[in-house]
Amino acid sequence: MIENPRTTRRHFLKIAGAAATAAMVLPFPELLAAEKKKPNIILILADDLGYADLGCQGCKDVPTPNIDRIAKNGMRFTDAHVSCPVCSPSRAGILTGRYQERFGHDSNPGSEFDRKDWGLPLDQKTFAEYMKDMGYATCAIGKWHLGDNAAHHPNKRGFDEFFGFIGGAHPYLDPTVNSFNMIQRNGKPVDEKDHLSYAFGREAVSFVDRNKDKPFFLYLAFNAPHQPLQPAIRDADAFPEIKDEKRRNFAKLMKSMDVSIGALLDKVRESGIEDNTLIFFLSDNGGPTPGNTSRNDPYKGYKTHVHEGGTRVPFMVQWKSKLPAGKVYSKPLIALDILPTVVTAAGGKVASNVDGVDLMPYLTGKKSGAPHDVLYWRFDKQLAIRKGDWKMSKHEEKGVRLYNLADDPSEKNDLSAKYPDKVKELQAEWDEWNAKNAKPMCPAKMDAPWVNSEW
């Protein structure tokens, strides 16, 4: 059959026109697709949660099914640490990716006088500022504890939205508003009636719902299970089988946080963004066992200690499209690694002075070995260094301890007298690291009864 030349020519022009139109319009959808490939980021921080306080960490009396979901759907780390065994310095390290000693943020603020100019130094680039530079919507919910004045407010440090309190602690049920530590939304007082853990969960779900169609960074910093042990009224009858009242109230606090995290995880799944959402969960330091009944088993020490019980924390990550489910990772890492891991995953670059490393090559198996050869701590009268399996810790008044964590993870057997050369080696390496640090800008004032115990 012979084709009509006019029909063939019209057909050719039609195809050519369609191709030209596609060439003009495809780049924009491609750009949108590339933008959507940026992972959403959720960083969940518990406050004073012990290493053994979760079901996935072996806890038997306090159920945490929703937090356990993160470990089940992702990876759980068994040798993960924070850079300081107390709240504010640990958070400063997490939100900068740097050892906080680099800029002298060694401790929680002391007196009211210390608070006037105190805070995460303004010349330190925050996690939120990195994410905003890459086009992310940013939100902080919960406890801040990185500066009380206007210049250090979360809205000035890269967060588009903030709901929570500025100081280091707050009652869960007291709606009292005061000028220093009010519950607030973007600097304006809020008369919050709900239990804070449930309120923070509500706000987190709302933020995700409003931003699910664009890349977002959510920093959800619970104050649970930090004291005071004030459970929600709706949980009054929970855990009757726990006879100790203090432990029962602790369990109720854990329940409110776990339920809120579950609601957030459900919203992420319902929004169709679960596979492309990178979720971290950890505690800001070890549990203060005498204070809130938290447990750091099997490790020695508590919050405020540079022993394993003060720095080794529950730590897990989920990214369903990139990381295996249910895997346990046992090599040492530190919370400073979260920032470079996230920024790199989002297509950005971190500053050269960042101490953390991108964990993804190690978690996916592209790199063998440990993310860090050495880890360091400096807090109050204490110091510590971890190199391979060796750990040296020192207290100005209590002396030096040396442990081999491969043989003695609970730090029961001091080997300092047997291996004096190893002590000298580690001390020299710590001194070299510390020589590059700043002086503490605010002296530590730790008067809890357990601070100097168990040395």
pLDDT tens digits, 112-170: 445 567 899 999 999 999 999 999 999 999 999 999 889 999 999 999 999 999 999 99
**How far apart, in whole angstroms, are the C-alpha atoms of residue 448 and residue 455?**
15
Burial label for 382, CB within 10 Å (0-12, 13-18, 19+), is: buried
Q: Do residues 338 and 251 both lie within one domain?
A: yes
C-alpha R_g of the chain: 24
3-state secondary structure of 126: coil
Q: Do residues 340 and 414 both lie within one domain?
A: no
**How far apart, in whole angstroms, are the C-alpha atoms of residue 216 and residue 235?**
32
**150: closest CA among 103, 117, 176, 175?**
117
Q: Do residues 336 and 276 both lie within one domain?
A: yes
pLDDT tens digits, 185-244: 999 999 999 999 999 999 999 999 999 999 999 999 999 999 999 999 999 999 999 999
pLDDT of 26 strictly over 70: no
The pairing of beta strand 75-77 with beta strand 327-329: parallel
pLDDT of 6 strictly over 90: no
Q: Report the pLDDT averaged over residues 403-414.
A: 97
Q: Do residues 103 and 244 both lie within one domain?
A: yes
Residue 139 β-bridge partners: 161, 218
- Other CB atoms closer than 10 Å to residue 256's CB: what's the count? 27
Q: Do residues 295 and 408 both lie within one domain?
A: no
| Structural domain contains residue 418 | yes
Q: Report the pLDDT averaged over residues 11-30.
A: 44
Q: Report the pLDDT averaged over residues 56-83.
A: 98
The whole model's pTM is what? 0.91
Task: Give the CATH number of the domain where residue 264 resides.
Answer: 3.40.720.10
Instruction: Provide, rounded to the nearest whole percent, the portion of the chain with pLDDT above 70.
Output: 87
Domain containing 134: what range? 36-372
